[in-house]
Structure 1
Amino acid sequence: MKKDDLDYYVIPTEDAHGSEYVAVSDKRREWISGFTGSAGQAIVSKTTAYMVADSRYWVQARTELDDNWNLVQAGHVDGPKDWIEWLTERARDVRVGIDSRMVSHHTATVLNQALIGKNSKLVYPPQNLVDLIWDGKPSRSREPIFVQPHRFTGMEASAKLADLRAWISRQPPSMQVATLISSLPNIAWLLNLRGDDIPFNPVFHSYLFVSLDEAILFIEPAKVSAEVDEYLRSISVERKEYNQIWSFLRLKPWGEGKVIITPETSYAISLMLTGFRYTVLPSEVDNMKAVKTDVELAGLRNAYRRDGAAFVRFLAWIEEKIQTGFEITEYEAAWRLTEYRRQAKNYMGLAYENISGSGANAALPHYTPRKSTARFIDRETPYLNDSGGQYLDGTCDTTRTVHFGRPTEAQCEGFTRVLQGHIAIDSAIFPEGTSGQQLDVLARRALWQDGLNYGHGTGHGVGSFLTVHEGPQGFSSTVPLVPGHVVTNEPGFYKAGEWGVRIESALIVKRVRTKNEFNGRVWLGFERLTCVPIQTKMVKDVMLSKEERQWLKTHNRRCLEELEPLLQEDKRALRWLRREAERGIGLAKSGPGGIAIDWD
């Protein structure tokens, strides 16, 4: 920092492709700070180090950061909105350094404008300062890439490229001649290729340049087999070495005309192209990828059935173990569920790190247990498991919360309010043009009635054997929902330091028929993908409407119908599933002497 005359140096979580999850070789913020959360920015001054994180990570950050770091609570009532606001409030006559590859065009533009007004400047050192001091830094992955077959995609890569080129041609004015794609899931989806460079995400480090008459994939040669090379030739995609992207952009061999980039593209690419040679537009590939083909939707339905069967096997196992006196840790529970998933057809790994929490840990929305520190799952508080498998035919994301003892009144009320929000989203009917953000209040309304809420989003898009978080749709997004979108529905409530509950299911947006069909066939609703029963023990029957009671009973019986054929070899899971499908709502009433028995 002294060499580059910097007052602050920003160390983002993201990699050069703006990835939410990054490869081990790109975990610079984690290496320098010890903080393992999936979001947060490290900012180092000449005298102090800061970690800016939102409410999902405050407790985790306090636990993992040592005395060299100061936690900045972004979003706190007395805190900054985000790290940019925090930094610009302190910036006056300063130089702020950042690796231009690790910051998006949009973020750099916003930060630049804010700093100029403070007589300050954003500076881009030629080398990443963390890399210079990181002894033993892991090398970039060279795992081979592979073709995702048409039977799982439903659309050839050549057709996707043709649609993208048609979009480029339609952009006014006519000077747009190409697009450069740096988003790893977008490249994987567009070319029907998958890789293994980032944990839980079947993507590979690369760039893709698509003009009206050519396509060039920039990737490490060691990752490409002869078979994949032949496939690339068959779809008219040329291959160049990964780092050649920079000389390619500098030489501008496409000639006259502008290259379309997205706001999420790294600022290093903007700097290399210069402002006269690029146009910034929202990602069209995001929009294309978000609307699943019929084949992808069929694959997701099958994947969620298999994933649901694994979840049911796990829930039956853990309930039996705990009820018979075994002590099970959060880590062991997560491991056991993964083992059940591993046995399923088309399983390729986990979609994200297992969230497996009991007691106070369940109140941390992104808590991940570690073997050495995981607590035992108790019978006094809810146990929350948020996890999912990656399958060749779909990406799964499910949360269920269960109780192995007798829940308290407060736990039952919180769970019931969360369930009501979950049902409200699942049952929503809405006209075309409605965004997820407009529906978000449905998930919170029941909680708000009791002065309760949750600090995370209500749901996000999901990929098809890609990333578990996918845009642009979601319940925090202003993008209108359309048929073929897949979103999660995951309201929750967390009593800090004590317990937490969340219920999450994945939904397909579909057309529905209504009684009056005002304005024609413009009405949309949801089809539920997730097939795991919702425990009725923590539900307060008197708080539910007639329609909500029926929804819950219908859902659990549907789970029995869908999963029973997949569980014929697991008698314990079958018994558990049948019991849950027929179980009444609420706790068993106490009998003589205050004894209550939940009969199987």
Structure 2
Amino acid sequence: MALFQHFDDTTSPSQGPARIAKLRTELIRRGFEGFVVPRADEHQGEYVPKSAERLAWLTGFTGSAGTVVVLQHKAALVVDGRYTVQAAEQVDTSVITPVQLAEMSAEDWIAANLPVGTVLAYDPWLLTNDGLKRLEQAVTRAGGQLAPVDLNLIDVIWIDRPAPPQAPVRPHPIEYAGEDARSKLTRIRKKMTEAKLDAIVVSDPHNLAWAFNLRGGDVGHTPLPLGYAIIPAEGPASLFFDPAKITNEAGAAVGDLAHFVEISAFPGALDRLGHEGGKIRIDSTTGAVALARRIEAAGGKVDVGADPIALMKAVKNQAEIAGSHAAHLRDGIAVARFLAWLDKEAPKGALTEIDAVEALEAFRVETGALKNVSFPSISGAGPNAALPHYRVTRSSNRPIENNQIFLIDSGAQYEDGTTDITRTIIVGEPSAEMKDRFTRVLKGHIAIDQAVFPKGTTGAQIDSFARQPLWQAGLDFDHGTGHGIGSYLSVHEGPQRIAKTGTTPLEIGMMLSNEPGFYKRGDYGIRIENLILVEPRKIAGGDREMMGFETLTFSPIDLRLVEPSIMTAGEIAWLNAYHAQVREKLSSKLDAETRTWLEEATRPIG
């Protein structure tokens, strides 16, 4: 049985109609035509506590991104390409229409469907400044009006809503953090001086956790303490948490750098910031409109921009890098043991997707260092592998069948590092098409791994490297090629990413994923994911500062799915060299049977 994951169906399409009807009754009572429900909490987080799962409670959709707009006579759930199939399966489509983001944004849907002269309500704690601007433009195009609500309308009707989480806040040891909070605050304040800021409101709990070397457990699979911070240009900072969360260890670790303040005092603290005047930075990515409005109402000047902590956090120091190397070696051993077990057991025909998740988690538990999984494992057999963000439940659980692809995307939280790895495995014999698609994905993966680029290059500029082999066959995938990785924090960390939207220049010390894929709906899916670290590259005769990637993840890539005839000599050499490293790093730490399996799984080809 898995310790950190469950497989229960927590929602049902049948819950949507009654709850949307209840919401519409509340809208009529208040004189509103509709209400916007984004999949977000007050910190705009990807992973949110149960008390903030408003979208899932209302509609049945459990994806990590999406927005539902409920009007009196129609409703739309807008999701990106990762969730197209999932949305259609999880909601009652007679009441809620799933809409693909690539075809129409939530704002476009509002502009086209909000009746003229009506009022659309929203929660100012769940929208950023940019999000509100887009919403205002959409409502104006529709000829309607926009109105904030003081209390979220879902909370009004959600009678048995869970209480906010109260996981303990604890210090993150300096041996893993690599820099003490005092030093971090000095660097943060230097950035504040450069931007002429009098204070920063830290709305992203990841940034708060990193800046003060704290960790918690308020959301699933990420050691995150939910709260806010106010960092003034001078003097102690203020950390706003539920007092039940604060441990003596956290208080001692923070010391005189900050005061812990009850979360109920946070609005009043914003008022005081406004009264004091000065220039106050609100994070453009995670700062709710409600924060800026509160400060401005008290007479303050709000500066909406990037929280400087985000970029500092993204560039890992030597201790964090060393921790990641140790975490990946430990994780690589667990994954190798799992893959050897899977190769032995899957052909017998008795395994299911849940069996695989539980086995992999058990191998990680046996490391003795596992704190949690870094996200619910994506364990997809056959057609379920074609759903990029599939989450297996007891009702969706499929057997891992012969001559089918099995995809498992998983990760671990260790105190010294966060991991994320995807491997695609064939059970039995692959078709020629499967081998072609897998090899094209592999070619794209290798292209990213081998990329060399000058300082200032963004993830958007190299994203197409991963897609070119697929494009040549008229194929593509509908997600980014890579996301940033936290250090015992979120498995998805910005601002860096390898994607069409990746506009942040890559810097030495940033960690990202390298995960191109291909998905044939209703049949199979392929993804190959390693984590990579941006490092300097010396180019003989060059006159530019260059960078490239170091691979962090070491685990076999299934050679049974590789078609060498469409690979270049350089690509084959890369695969053989990578597998040689896998053998070198893992073999001595495996039992004899697993070591024999690994030798065969990583044999040279070509």
Q: Specify the TM-score bucket, using the shorter chain as the normaliser.
A: over 0.9
Q: Which residue of 1 aligns with 2:599?
A: 578
**Conservation of the 8 A alpha-carbon contact between 1:51 and 1:69:** no
Identify which of 252, 261, 268 aligns with 1:230.
252
Query: Which sits farther off after the overlay, 299-308 or 115-124?
Result: 115-124
Equivalenced residue count is 573
Identify which of 100, 103, 106 aligns with 2:127.
103
Structure 1: distance between partners of 2:325 and 2:96:
45
Q: Which residue of 1 aligns with 2:19?
A: none
Q: Which residue of 1 aligns with 2:108?
A: 85
1:152-163 equivalences under 5 Å are 152-163=176-187
Q: Which residue of 2 aligns with 1:251?
A: 272
Q: Which residue of 2 aligns with 1:28?
A: 54
Identify which of 201, 204, 219 aligns with 1:198.
219
**Conservation of the 8 A alpha-carbon contact between 1:219 and 1:240:** yes
2:576 is paired with a residue of what secondary structure? helix
1:11 is paired with a residue of what secondary structure? strand
**Conservation of the 8 A alpha-carbon contact between 2:513 and 2:532:** yes
Question: Structure 2: where are the runs of 5+ without partners?
Answer: 1-26
Counterpart amino acid of residue 381 in structure 1 = Q
Q: Which residue of 2 aligns with 1:44?
A: 70
Structure 2: distance between partners of 1:113 and 1:84:
8
Q: Which residue of 2 aligns with 1:480?
A: 505
**Conservation of the 8 A alpha-carbon contact between 1:350 and 1:390:** yes
Identify which of 330, 339, 351 aligns with 1:315.
339
Distance 1:253 1:52, change over 3 A: closer
**Conservation of the 8 A alpha-carbon contact between 1:178 and 1:209:** yes
CA distances 1:130-181 after superposition (whole Å, capped 9, x unpaired): 111112211111111110001001100111111111111111xx4x200001
Distance 1:387 1:306, change over 3 A: same
2:230 counterpart of 1:209 = yes
Counterpart amino acid of residue 508 in structure 1 = L
Identify which of 487, 492, 496 aligns with 2:517.
492
The Cα of 1:326 is off from its aligned counterpart by 4.1
Q: Which residue of 1 aligns with 2:202?
A: 181
Structure 2: distance between partners of 1:114 and 1:467:
32
Counterpart amino acid of residue 163 in structure 2 = S
**Conservation of the 8 A alpha-carbon contact between 1:16 and 1:101:** yes
Q: Which residue of 2 aligns with 1:56?
A: 82
Structure 2: distance between partners of 1:240 and 1:58:
43
Q: Which residue of 2 aligns with 1:597?
A: none
1:59-70 equivalences under 5 Å are 59-70=85-96
Structure 2: distance between partners of 1:384 and 1:36:
20
Structure 1: distance between partners of 2:365 and 2:473:
41
Structure 1 runs of 4+ off > 6 angstroms? none
Q: Which residue of 1 aligns with 2:430?
A: 407
The Cα of 1:254 is off from its aligned counterpart by 7.0
Structure 1: distance between partners of 2:58 and 2:593:
47
Question: Structure 1: where are the runs of 5+ without partners?
Answer: 586-600
Q: Which residue of 2 aligns with 1:514?
A: 539
Q: Which residue of 1 aligns with 2:40?
A: 14
**Conservation of the 8 A alpha-carbon contact between 2:324 and 2:418:** yes
Q: Which residue of 1 aligns with 2:23?
A: none
Structure 1: distance between partners of 2:70 and 2:106:
12
2:427 is paired with a residue of what secondary structure? coil
Query: Which sits farther off after the overlay, 366-375 or 398-407?
Result: 366-375
Structure 1: distance between partners of 2:518 and 2:249:
50
Structure 2: distance between partners of 1:229 and 1:436:
39
Structure 2: distance between partners of 1:94 and 1:475:
41
2:286 counterpart of 1:262 = no
CA distances 1:88-134 after superposition (whole Å, capped 9, x unpaired): 23233221111111111220122123323443222112211111111
C-alpha RMSD over aligned residues = 1.5
Distance 1:509 1:166, change over 3 A: same
Structure 2: distance between partners of 1:384 and 1:301:
24
CA distances 1:350-397 after superposition (whole Å, capped 9, x unpaired): 101100001110000000111232000112221101000011011111
Q: Which residue of 2 aligns with 1:596?
A: none
Structure 2: distance between partners of 1:164 and 1:113:
35
Identify which of 328, 346, 370 aligns with 1:347.
370
TM-score, length basis structure 1: 0.93
Q: Which residue of 2 aligns with 1:273?
A: 295
**Conservation of the 8 A alpha-carbon contact between 1:53 and 1:71:** no
Structure 1: distance between partners of 2:495 and 2:601:
36
2:569 counterpart of 1:543 = no
**Conservation of the 8 A alpha-carbon contact between 1:74 and 1:83:** no
Structure 2: distance between partners of 1:345 and 1:183:
31
2:261 counterpart of 1:240 = yes
The Cα of 1:281 is off from its aligned counterpart by 1.4
The Cα of 1:517 is off from its aligned counterpart by 1.9
2:140 counterpart of 1:116 = yes
TM-score, length basis structure 2: 0.92
Structure 2: distance between partners of 1:313 and 1:71:
44
Counterpart amino acid of residue 598 in structure 2 = L
2:354 is paired with a residue of what secondary structure? helix
CA distances 1:164-219 after superposition (whole Å, capped 9, x unpaired): 11111111xx4x20000110111111110000000011111100000012300000
Distance 1:252 1:514, change over 3 A: closer
Q: Which residue of 2 aligns with 1:435?
A: 458
The Cα of 1:69 is off from its aligned counterpart by 3.1
CA distances 1:400-437 after superposition (whole Å, capped 9, x unpaired): 10101110010000000000000000001111111111
Structure 2: distance between partners of 1:87 and 1:306:
49
Structure 2: distance between partners of 1:246 and 1:566:
54
1:358-369 equivalences under 5 Å are 358-369=381-392
**Conservation of the 8 A alpha-carbon contact between 1:7 and 1:95:** yes
The Cα of 1:220 is off from its aligned counterpart by 0.7
1:382 is paired with a residue of what secondary structure? strand
**Conservation of the 8 A alpha-carbon contact between 2:381 and 2:406:** yes
Q: Which residue of 1 aligns with 2:7?
A: none
2:337 counterpart of 1:306 = no
Query: Which sits farther off after the overlay, 266-275 or 362-371?
Result: 266-275
**Conservation of the 8 A alpha-carbon contact between 1:55 and 1:73:** no
Structure 1: distance between partners of 2:101 and 2:244:
44
Distance 1:15 1:112, change over 3 A: same
The Cα of 1:70 is off from its aligned counterpart by 2.5
Counterpart amino acid of residue 321 in structure 1 = E
Quick one: percent identity of the two aligned structures?
A: 35
The Cα of 1:345 is off from its aligned counterpart by 4.0
1:138 is paired with a residue of what secondary structure? coil
Q: Which residue of 1 aligns with 2:313?
A: 289
**Conservation of the 8 A alpha-carbon contact between 1:355 and 1:368:** yes
**Conservation of the 8 A alpha-carbon contact between 1:493 and 1:502:** yes
**Conservation of the 8 A alpha-carbon contact between 2:88 and 2:98:** no
Structure 1: distance between partners of 2:452 and 2:604:
29
Structure 1: distance between partners of 2:560 and 2:55:
42
